[in-house]
Amino acid sequence: MEKFDTIIIGAGPAGLAAVYDLKAAGQKVAIVENNLWGGTCPNRGCDPKKVLLSGVEARDRMIQLQNKGFDEVPYVNWKQLESFKEQFTDPVSKSSRAGIVKAGITAIDGQPKFISEDTLRVDGQDDYQADKFIIATGQRPSYLDIKGQEHLLSSTDFLSLKAMPKDITIIGAGYIAFELATIANATGSKVHIIHHNDHPLKEFNEDFVSDLVDQLKGKGIDFNFNIDTKEIAVTEDGQYTIKADKFELTTDLVIGATGRIPNADFLDLEKAGVEYSRHGIVVNDKLQSTNSNIYAIGDVVATKQPKLTPVGGFEANYVSDLLTGKTQEKIEFPPIPTVVYGSPKLAKVGVQNGSKVIDQDVTNWFTYSHTNESKARIRTFLNDNDQVVGATVFSNDADSMINIFTLAIKQHMSHQDVIKQIFAYPTAASDLEYLI
Ligand SMILES: Cc1cc2nc3c(=O)[nH]c(=O)nc-3n(C[C@H](O)[C@H](O)[C@H](O)COP(=O)(O)OP(=O)(O)OC[C@H]3O[C@@H](n4cnc5c(N)ncnc54)[C@H](O)[C@@H]3O)c2cc1C
Ligand SMILES: NC(=O)c1ccc[n+]([C@@H]2O[C@H](COP(=O)([O-])OP(=O)(O)OC[C@H]3O[C@@H](n4cnc5c(N)ncnc54)[C@H](O)[C@@H]3O)[C@@H](O)[C@H]2O)c1
């Protein structure tokens, strides 16, 4: 039986970051993948979504400049945009695996299961032993437990639709629902969002979410709040009727976006003494599971940090440092920015309270008015020393702006620190001195 220093399970952004780090540190490592190499983010998550969003953004810029340089504004041609997306997604798995092999890392395809605390059996036949394991198996879509559940498609299905239906419904109102709704709407589809309560995007400030909802309603997206879906039935002409108390909606396609569940099952973790809950693998502040030789990183971990690609990468670097003796400290996360990639975008970082709150409608500032954005808003939170500790940004370029705030928070910057910097003008960053 082949023996390794460390075996990583799951070749997504987190697992790949860890395996490359450990190999570079001189370890004998292997990585096991049971599906597409590269994982969720480049195959069926962040990257394809962002490629599709590029078409939406181009259209929305034209809408903003309609009769100010543009007459007609076309809908996004889904077929063309989708095939542009495939240029990015199609090569990912093969090239990701090839990179692993080229680096001298053992790449194992198949379904691994622990048969003891230090041995994995892949596809019921090949056994691999290691001193340490890192579980990085991510999450998969969860499906509502309702009658007609089998008619629900997932975000993965949406991102690969060959044709966009005329009428599409998304159940849920988290990141995925807002992002997919924005994309479908730009193709000319009628989009409905159905949500079981009236708190969409619940981690964001309510009034900013309300601004985003208003913008999307203005584009024609239909929001249905406080609707607890009970059933999805197929109609005679092949459509779907979504049923709830005193509510029915018939649509061409239904996407479920009601959260994701950790891939902690299927690994026979109990045979390795690793505990997990419905939130994921239970870890301590060194990302060590209930078996001290088995670590977990990325989306599969049951921690309060947002489940995002850069968070998985950060955890991978940390565990690699731990396993190669570069640190013994517990993990400390820097401020983590999160973005809802709509059009406009909604982003936040840091704490959402402070002794001083600066809340500004920046719609008429040159940065936003020169492209005729319909609404832009920035709220910053300062501590007792006037240092920025948090921000929420709502604008077309909120994703770039939130990274600037992330650095400013990390550097404990106050207004006095900002005015000592020179930023290119006119850019969103050059407004910073009026925001902190
Ligand atoms: C539609 C969508 C959009 C997103 N957009 C963003 C975004 O814009 N920005 C952002 O930061 N994050 C985004 N995310 C989240 C991001 O994709 C994840 O946080 C990230 O991929 C997590 O990395 P990971 O390596 O932990 O897990 P994954 O990327 O899920 O990789 C886990 C890997 O493990 C494999 N695996 C699972 N079970 C097993 C098993 N039993 N044995 C072997 N292998 C297994 C899987 O096949 C997969 O390849 C998005 C997610 C989705 C679904
Ligand atoms: N831009 C990004 O960074 C990005 C984009 C997409 C996904 N992600 C990651 O993927 C995760 C999963 O995304 P998601 O949108 O599926 O999950 P989510 O947790 O963000 O949202 C799920 C939504 O479904 C709702 N919901 C739950 N049960 C419901 C029901 N019965 N009926 C209607 N609504 C119901 C929840 O209240 C919530 O609003 C995110 O939390 C994030 O970690 C990140």
50-108 residue pLDDT tens: 999 999 999 999 999 999 999 999 999 999 999 999 999 999 999 999 999 999 999 99
Report the alpha-carbon distance of residue 227 to residue 194 in Å, rounded. 6
**Distance between CA 16 and CA 136 in Å, rounded?**
9
Nearest CA to ligand 2 atom 4: 175
Q: What is the pTM of this model?
A: 0.97
ipTM: 0.97
Is the distance from CB of 387 to CB of 380 less than 8 angstroms? no
Choose the residue to mutate in 19, 21, 41 for probing ligand 1, maximizing ligand atoms within 8 Å of C-beta.
41
Strand partners, 233: 241
**266 within ligand 1 shell (Cβ under 6 A):** yes
**Are the CB atoms for 179 and 49 separated by under 8 Å?**
yes
Q: Which two tokens stand for residue 63?
A: 């809408």
pLDDT in tens, 120-153: 999 999 999 999 999 999 999 999 999 999 999 9
- Span from the CA of 264 to the centroid of ligand 1 (angstroms): 13
CA distance 208 to 218: 15
Q: Is 173 annotated as a binding residue?
A: yes
C-alpha of 109 from chain center = 25
pLDDT of residue 280: 98
- What is each CA distance from 337 to 64, 348, 422, in whole angstroms? 27, 6, 23
Residue with tokens 């090239």, as numbered in its chain: 95
CA distance 218 to 345: 15
CA of 178 to the centre of ligand 2 (A): 9
Top-level class of domain 149-258? alpha beta
Tell me the C-alpha distance between 191 and 253, whole Å.
10
Question: Is the pLDDT at 377 greater than 90, yes or no?
Answer: yes
* Residue 220: how many other CB atoms lie within 10 Å: 11
* Average pLDDT estimate for 365-384: 97
**Span 169-198, mean pLDDT?**
98
Q: Is 175 annotated as a binding residue?
A: yes
Does the pLDDT value for residue 308 go beyond 90? yes
- Atom in ligand 2 nearest the alpha carbon of residue 194: 33
CA of 309 to the centre of ligand 1 (A): 7
Measured distance CA(61)–CA(45) in Å, rounded = 24
Q: Per CATH, the architecture of 2-141+261-323 is what?
A: 3-Layer(bba) Sandwich (3.50)
Q: Say yes or no: CB of residue 153 within 6 Å of ligand 1.
A: no
Q: Give the pLDDT band of residue 396 (cuts 50, 70, 90).
A: very high
What does residue 427 show for φ and ψ, rounded to 5 degrees? -140, 165
Q: Calculate mean pLDDT across residues 163-178.
A: 98
Predicted confidence at residue 311, as pLDDT, reads 98
- What one-character DSSP code corresponds to residue 194? E
Residue range 152-171: average pLDDT?
98
Question: Which of the four pLDDT bands, split at 50, 70 and 90, describes residue 355?
Answer: confident
176 CA: nearest ligand 2 atom:
15
CA of 176 to the centre of ligand 2 (A): 6
Structural Rg of the chain based on CA atoms = 23
Confidence tier at 8 by pLDDT (50, 70, 90)? very high
For residue 9, the model assigns a pLDDT of 98
Average pLDDT in the 361-386 region?
97
The rounded distance, in Å, linking the Cα atoms of 268 and 264 is 9
**Percentage of the chain modeled with pLDDT above 70:** 100
Domains 149-258 and 344-434 share a fold: no
**In contact, 363 and 369? CB cutoff 8 Å:** yes
Mean pLDDT, range 311-334, rounded to an integer: 98
Q: How confident is the model at residue 435 (pLDDT cuts 50, 70, 90)?
A: very high
Closest ligand to C-alpha of residue 200 is: 2
259 appears as a binding residue in the annotation? yes
Ligand closest to the CA atom of residue 227: 2
The domain segmentation of the chain, as residue ranges, is 2-141+261-323, 149-258, 344-434
Ligand 2 atom nearest the C-alpha of 144 is 31
Give 389-433 as a DSSP string. EEEEEEETTHHHHHHHHHHHHHTT-BHHHHTTS---SSSSGGGGG
Q: How far is the CA of 175 from the centre of ligand 1 (A)?
A: 14
Number of other CB atoms surrounding residue 219 within 10 Å: 16
Tell me: is residue 163 an annotated ligand-binding position. Answer: no
Q: 45 CA distance to ligand 1 centroid (A)?
A: 7
Q: How far is the CA of 38 from the centre of ligand 2 (A)?
A: 22
Give mean pLDDT, residues 272-283: 98
Q: What is the mean pLDDT of residues 389-415?
A: 98
pLDDT > 90? residue 354: no
Would you say the CB of residue 392 lies under 6 angstroms from ligand 2?
A: no
CATH class of the 344-434 domain in this structure:
alpha beta
